[in-house]
Structure 1
Amino acid sequence: MAKSVQHDNKGLQNAQIILTSLAAGAIAGALAKTTIAPLDRTKINFQVGHKPYSTKKALKFLIQTFRKEGLIALWRGNSATMARIVPHAAIQFTAHEQWKKILKVDEKEGKTPGKLFLAGSLAGATSQSLTYPLDLARARMAVTPKEEYATLRQVFWKIYCFEGVKTFYRGYVPTMAGVIPYAGVSFFTYDTLKRLYKEHFVSGESPHPLASLGFGAIAGMLGQSSSYPLDIVRRRMQTDTGGKYSTIVSTLKCIYRNEGLRRGLYKGLSMNWIKGPIAVGISYATYDNVKDLLRSIMIKYRRKSLYLE
């Protein structure tokens, strides 16, 4: 990926800015999640089960899945992931840019850590709220045999018929409780590192793609670590079909009592430290570079049109 060139978006209407953000976010989310899909499936299986997590056992799960079901099985549930992550990432990145505009984060008087954190939190809450049923469907497909849920449509149909509409938002509260610190910390860290990079290394230019990748990796690790127990809670509630996990508090108590802190509420965190930074790094770096590319093309096309006129 070539080094991106920053521009000030002069000549672009807000609708064009939103359109390029949506497109870049969709591409970034799809690329990032597809890359780490096998690791994501492994993490979810350990999160919702009672077996203790270890890197050796995670590797064993990947090998057994490959041997029994084939290579494609490692990406099982990825269609549901794509159906969720494409709109989720598109909305999240676009919402973040718009919330920053509303909160005047990029203006001199608005550049405060609190507003930067709030813009990220609101972006995460916006995208998660609009795409939550798809996240639940993805989790169900990742932890069940193919015979139970063969397609994404089948997941929605069975849940609607046998569990009711409310089930589509089971685990929503812990998800929102987790996404606020996660998105806030993640976007805050990434934007802060980018600003420091511009101030001390290449003033006025966007970071090199490798630098963006590194900033995103750090942001992802810090963001996911800040809200990980709630990620465990939401996965348990999403995949619970027997009514065992009904509330956040009861789920937390049940997991802690039966599995403990490290092996229960922080189960699979080391896997997240591998896949999280990879996914977030790819996502942020791809978004910034694709967004800048699309906007530079639009600006050039607009200038050419005005010249011909």
Structure 2
Amino acid sequence: MSRLLEKPNIAMSITATGSQLSSTVASASATGNRGTEDVEDEDGTSMTSSSASALTTTTIPAKVNQHSSSIKTTEMRKHIDEVLISLIAGAAAGALAKTTIAPLDRTKINFQIRKDVPFSFRASLQYLEQTYTKEGVLALWRGNSATMARIVPYAAIQFTAHEQWRRILQVDTNGTDTKVRRFVAGSLAGITSQSLTYPLDLARARMAVTDRYTGYRTLRQVFAKIWVEEGPRTLYRGYWATVLGVIPYAGTSFFTYETLKREYHEMVGNNKPNTLVSLAFGAAAGAAGQTASYPLDIVRRRMQTMRVNTAANERCPTILETLTKIYREEGIKNGFYKGLSMNWIKGPIAVGISFSAYDLIKAWLRELSHLKRGRVQE
């Protein structure tokens, strides 16, 4: 009896299993049928479910790549904005600083290239007075157009190059104190800007030591006469003396200013000093930079103005010959450092205005950039 009773159980088990198998096959068949059915997307476009599945699997990486590309584009746009801000702020700061001290700059250049007239404050005031009497007040800014034509690109390139060299050399990153790199970044910024704008510096020196009646009337005339009468190579006369001078000048200036700002931050806890403090730091940087590079500044001015300097009877074609000549005929104090006291007045003023104006204008432009970016995102 027990065996007879077990048979229906086996039959029932087989029947149940077959029923489950049938339902499984039926569901698979239904699924297969549905897999071939058309599915409409959100736009009403007909597609099969297999196509929809493939589209879903390919959409996810596409979105990831699109997001990554968007991040890269945003970062690139921010970097370009920073470069443009540095260019504009540097140009404006340089123009403001040089225009302020233009009369003092012209006076200094005239004493630098003349060995027959000793420098003194009384003599410099007399020169300013004579220039005003003979040619008018605007003559005190003679050559300033050439200065602006040079200083606007020069300052723009210098400040922007300094920012980029700091980034490349990783100056003071992650709280480190890299003094040598700080100096090198400033020197490289000076070399970069001076190399790209040197002919304009020579033209400014020529216009500063001549009057409008016997010299050059316009900046264009300076280049035309030099090209025809002296040759195109003259446009870079004194270049190496300038580069040798700009290494200690720009390096010391940027190093001093950045170091003072760093020390101020460590003492006070504020990494953005006010305008007066920035002016003071810039003045100290200007005085240090001018003192470090002044002898080579004398050399380059002598070499730049050879043809127009009537007091110079002999030509000094090289840096070494010019240095030797100045040392033998005028000595160290009255030769290499002639007019330095004037530079201690105008240099700190110019560099102080330049550095503080650059920081102020750059911060203002950054705020405008953030506001504009915020409005676009809204």
Q: Quick check: 1:250 aligned with 2:321?
A: yes
1:291 CA drift (Å): 0.4
What SS class does the counterpart of residue 150 from structure 1 fall into? coil
Q: Whole-Å Cα distance in 1 between the matches of residues 176 and 197 of structure 2?
A: 30
Partner in structure 2 of residue 49 of structure 1: 114
Matched, 1:96 2:162: yes
Find runs of 4+ consecutive structure 1 residues off by over 3 angstroms.
Answer: none
Structure of greater relative contact order (alpha carbons < 8 Å, 6+ residues apart): 1
Q: Which residue is 1:22 aligned to?
A: 87
Deviation at 1:109, TM superposition (A): 7.2
| Displacement of 1:220 | 0.3
TM-score of the aligned structures, taking structure 1 as reference length: 0.94
Letter in 2 for 1:36: I
Gaps of 5+ in 1: 1-9
Tell which deviates more after alignment, 129-138 or 145-154.
145-154
Q: Which has the larger radius of gyration?
A: 2
Residue 205 of structure 2 corresponds to which residue in structure 1?
A: 139
Find the counterpart in structure 2 of residue 164 from structure 1: 231
CA distance in 2, matches of 1:136, 1:13: 36
Which one of the candidate residues 225, 245, 249 is aligned to 1:178? Answer: 245
Matched residue type, 1:101? R
Unmatched 5+ stretches in structure 2: 1-74, 308-312
Distance in 1, Cα, partners of 2:182 & 2:77: 24
Q: Give, in whole Å, the separation in 2 of the partners of 1:245 and 1:263.
A: 18
1:279 matched to 2:350: yes
* SS of equivalent residue, structure 2 residue 119: coil
Q: Which residue is 1:297 aligned to?
A: 368
Partners of 2:238 and 2:303 within 8 A in 1: yes
TM-score, structure 2 as length reference? 0.77
Deviation of 1:108 (Å):
2.5
Question: Partner letter of residue 114 of structure 2?
Answer: G
Cα distance, 1:234–1:29 mapped onto 2, change above 3 Å: same
- Note if contact 2:172-2:178 (Cα within 8 Å) is conserved in structure 1: no
- Cα distance change on mapping 1:189 and 1:240 into 2, 3 Å: same
Q: Secondary structure at the match of 1:23?
A: helix
CA RMSD of aligned residues (A): 1.4
Contact map agreement 2:249 2:292 (CA 8 A) in 1 = yes
| Structure 2 contact 107–124 (Cα < 8 Å) conserved | yes
**Which residue of structure 2 lines up, in the alignment, with residue 222 of structure 1?**
288
| SS, match of residue 272 in structure 2 | coil
- Paired with 1:130 and 1:110, the residues of 2 have a C-alpha distance of 32
What is the CA distance between 1:197 and its match in structure 2? 1.0
- Give the Å deviation of 1:296: 1.1
Partner of 1:154: 221
Q: 1:243 to 1:163 in 2, by over 3 A?
A: farther
